[in-house]
Amino acid sequence: MVCMTRRTDALSRERIVEATIEILDTAGESALTLRALTAHLSTGRGALYHHVATKDDLLAAASDGVIGRVLAEVGGHEDPAYAIRALALGIFTAIDGHPWVGSQLARDPGQPAVLQIWTSVGSQLTRLGVTGRARSDAGSALVNYVLGAAAQHAAGARRAPDQAARQEYLQALATKWAGEDPDAAELLRDHDDRAQFLAGVDIFLAGVSALRKPAGSG
């Protein structure tokens, strides 16, 4: 009956999600409190709960927004293998910038953001000529790899936010590995998460291609 919003600057789900992302980005997951959110929006809790069901709902909406933006950006490449690399790298970059998304994606396989990733990967695999069970197997492998790497990278970023702490962490790991394989310890020292992540995508793509060729007959 009435117009849906009384004032353009009034509280809305969109504004709440926006503020949520801002808090998460600037102060981290642990700082996202409904109290902090109400303070940030200069409002009360009842108002929040008129637009949002629960805190989890809010987190899902926030990560859905970020992932949705990424998937929309990287959708337009002709070569499907290249598109898959771009898709994976886009997700990685997004989680590098917003570590909380990585944790959130690992939390619930039914949330919209994860479904978006599934369908994007699935359609690129179809374009790659993979179908049937091979496609669902490959899709599962790639999605799980991307989400796993995302969660680990995000957790690492949470644990070692600055470069010094990260160096310490890598050093400790290198020491642990040194006895077993000095070469690996050396590589760990000038280690690039992004390059390693892409190398993993390439291993996956090579595997899909290798398994497709020998099984020629339907």
Partner DNA sequence: GACACAGCTGGACCGCCGGTCCAACCTAGG
Partner DNA sequence: CCTAGGTTGGACCGGCGGTCCAGCTGTGTC
Residue type, 94: A
Residues of span 51-80 touching DNA by CB under 7 A: 51, 54-56
CB 59, min distance to its own copies, A: 13
59 binds its own copies (CB under 8 A): no
Taken in order 124, 127, 130, 133, the sign of the CA dihedral is: positive
204 binds its own copies (CB under 8 A): yes
Q: Choosing among DNA, its own copies, none, which partner's interface includes residue 127 (Cβ < 5 to 8 Å by kind)?
A: none
200 binds its own copies (CB under 8 A): yes
Nearer to its own copies, 33 or 140 (CB): 140
CB 29, min distance to DNA, A: 10
In the shown chain, the binding pattern of residues 150 to 189 toward its own copies, with x for contact by CB under 8 A and - for none, equals xxx--xx--x---------x---x--xx--xx-xx--xx-
Q: Choosing among DNA, its own copies, none, which partner's interface includes residue 2 (Cβ < 5 to 8 Å by kind)?
A: DNA
Nearer to DNA, 35 or 133 (CB): 35
Nearer to its own copies, 16 or 99 (CB): 99
Distance CA 24, CA 22 (A): 5
3-state secondary structure the chain: CCCCCCCCCCCCHHHHHHHHHHHHHHHCHHHCCHHHHHHHHCCCHHHHHCCCCCHHHHHHHHHHHHHHHHHHHCCCCCCHHHHHHHHHHHHHHHHHHCHHHHHHHCCCCCCHHHHHHHHHHHHHHHHCCCCHHHHHHHHHHHHHHHHHHHHHHHHHHHHCCCHHHHHHHHHHHHHHHHCCCHHHHHHHHCCCHHHHHHHHHHHHHHHHHHHHCCCCCC
Report CA 8 to chain centroid distance, whole Å. Answer: 32
Stretch that binds its own copies, among 22-30, 36-44, 67-75, 120-128 (CB under 8 A): 120-128
57 close to 36: Cβ distance less than 8 angstroms: no
Name the residues that contact DNA, by CB under 7 A.
Answer: 1-4, 6-7, 10-11, 32-36, 38, 42-47, 49-51, 54-56
Name the residues that contact its own copies, by CB under 8 A.
Answer: 103, 106-110, 114-115, 119, 122-123, 126, 131-133, 135-138, 140-141, 143-152, 155-156, 159, 169, 173, 176-177, 180-181, 183-184, 187-188, 191, 196-197, 199-200, 202-211
